[in-house]
A and B are shown apart, each in its own frame.
Chain A
């Protein structure tokens, strides 16, 4: 008999097994929701799927009574704008500081311990300081994301830069490259796909900080809406929003992976050979 670790499910079996936990969750939800709705048809905690449909219709396809905006799209637009600004800024910082730290020992010596220390401060613990420095507007929300994930990204890029084999750097030098050329031609192209990979990993944290920022002070956004309607336990709005956020996060991750594969096919080929 084949050992368990050597038994691989076929294509169809893999699909079915993959979908199974989702279906189980759905069934569990339906059972629990039906039980509560049988007791109180207006139960707010676990609403029925028809109330979800109603809430989605209301939030996404009906203009708001007071402002005339389509709330879901307005929330999505402002949240995605903040998120991409925060992620973009963090990635840029990570790229510049991370590569410099990795390449130049005289940069690394003062900066590396400092950034390590910064990355260990929980941003939520210093909120009042952030308010005073960055105010309460859009800047504060973007900065919370940057402070939350940039130090982690910088440390990661620095580590990856240091992992680049010394032979490559020596070879480039024997071919006559100066520091700038080594950074731009040797380090930069090899760091980029790795940076994209760690940005993908930090997406979860970025969403967390975004939603926290929007919960503290905001006038629109996905996190703002969730915390607002929580005031009257409108789970029929909250749960579709959560699913929507999950979907957006998944799409962002997918797009980043596609970009990485398109721009750096050699990197992914490398990983593939390592995996096989």
Chain B
């Protein structure tokens, strides 16, 4: 009898204990952290760094442990971070504002990795002028940076969103969709963008190089976790700039690193280098610090906040675009009593000064 019962009870007991131990572990001082990332040209170093144990080396240096997890769905990775499952996640400045920050998860842009400098673009079939987009259906991932880019593009030629019709299209199906005759205009990012532009009769009529520094790729971490555990921030930033140094080198090792990253993102060295060419990477921490410190960042976040508010992305509580405060070194944009997104160059500065 006892044998039978213990066989039934033991698994339950085990589940019970493991649930409790995980709760008590989170209450104690943190030793273990996890960050997630998804495939994008500017975030491939995270996968490379995890694979080559560069992240582990830096975590060991500060006596902590950092898990680097790749998530196949970009939005899902941000949602998981916002729900509290990860301490950090790679995302763009716009998604950082509209998902975690709008959900009251106070977040800090620990690393400003790069900005899109042509990696996102508006493509028309058979037409060469952006103005021709008027009256067309535009296929894109609605409410994403593509949508933001489109809004900025329309702005630049005096059109508005009401002049076109946006069709929400899954990024996984965008290339296949472009082959159909229903689709005449798309907005998308690389590597999809280069694949679409390789088709006949396609023209790039606007790209992110025309709004440099507005679509920024970040490593965002939970502000509270960072404040309580500066080691976590130091280890991540240390590992990042070691990877930057490695991949930017014009040496055998640098090419090997870029080849590995290219392969991991489904292309090769040439394909990856082409994507890097339309990405302004901040290989040196000093460049990233200078970018973060510039007054331009605050203006960019204002554009992003206004776009987000106009599309209802700041939540129902938001009365206007300034509802959520965004802290930048050159000042706070929006409500200083509700700061939820912070651009903090402190840790990158430490890297620039060689103090990590």
Q: Which residues of A contact B (CB under 8 A)?
A: 40-45, 54-55, 58, 65, 127-128, 131-132, 135-137, 215-219, 224, 227-228, 230-233
Contact = CB atoms under 8 A, between A and B. Distances in A.
Contact of A40 (B104, B167, B170, B182): B104
A136 B182 contact: yes
Closest 6 CB pairs of A and B: A42-B104, A128-B176, A44-B103, A217-B169, A135-B182, A136-B182
Given A135-B182, A224-B168, A216 B173 contact: yes
B177 interface: yes
A194 to B, nearest CB: 37
B143 A228 contact: yes
B166 A219 contact: yes
Nearest to B170: A216
Tell me which of A40, A128, A132, A136 has the highest count of chain B C-beta atoms within 10 A of its own C-beta.
A136
B144 interface: yes
A77 B291 CA distance: 49
A79 to B, nearest CB: 14
Contacts of B165: 219
A43 B180 CA distance: 41
A131 B316 CA distance: 36
B180 A136 contact: yes
Interface string B271-312: 000000000000000000000000000000000000000001
Interface in B129-179: 139, 142-144, 165-170, 173, 176-177, 179
B203 interface: no
A228 B168 contact: yes
B180 A227 contact: no
A231 B180 contact: no
B139 A136 contact: yes
B177 A136 contact: yes
A233 B99 contact: yes
A52 B168 CA distance: 25
B103 A43 contact: yes
B183 A231 contact: no
B82 interface: yes
Contacts of B78: 233
Contacts of B102: 232
B180 A135 contact: yes
Contacts of B312: 65
A233 B193 CA distance: 26
B13 interface: no
Tell me which of A65, A127, A231 has the highest count of chain B C-beta atoms within 10 A of its own C-beta.
A231
B177 to A, nearest CB: 6
Contacts of B142: 228, 231
Interface string B179-203: 1111100000000000000000000
B79 interface: yes
Contact of A58 (B98, B179, B316): B316
A144 to B, nearest CB: 12
B103 to A, nearest CB: 4
A242 B144 CA distance: 23
Given A132-B179, A132-B180, A217-B173, 20 more contacts: A43-B103, A45-B82, A54-B316, A127-B176, A128-B173, A128-B176, A131-B179, A132-B176, A136-B169, A136-B180, A216-B169, A217-B139, A218-B167, A224-B168, A231-B98, A232-B99, A232-B102, A232-B313, A233-B82, A233-B103
Interface in B81-123: 82-83, 98-99, 102-105
Contact of A131 (B83, B143, B176, B313): B176
Nearest to B143: A231
B75 interface: yes
Interface in B327-352: none
Nearest to A65: B312
A56 to B, nearest CB: 12
Tell me which of B98, B166, B168 has the highest count of chain A C-beta atoms within 10 A of its own C-beta.
B168
Contacts of B168: 217-219, 224, 227-228
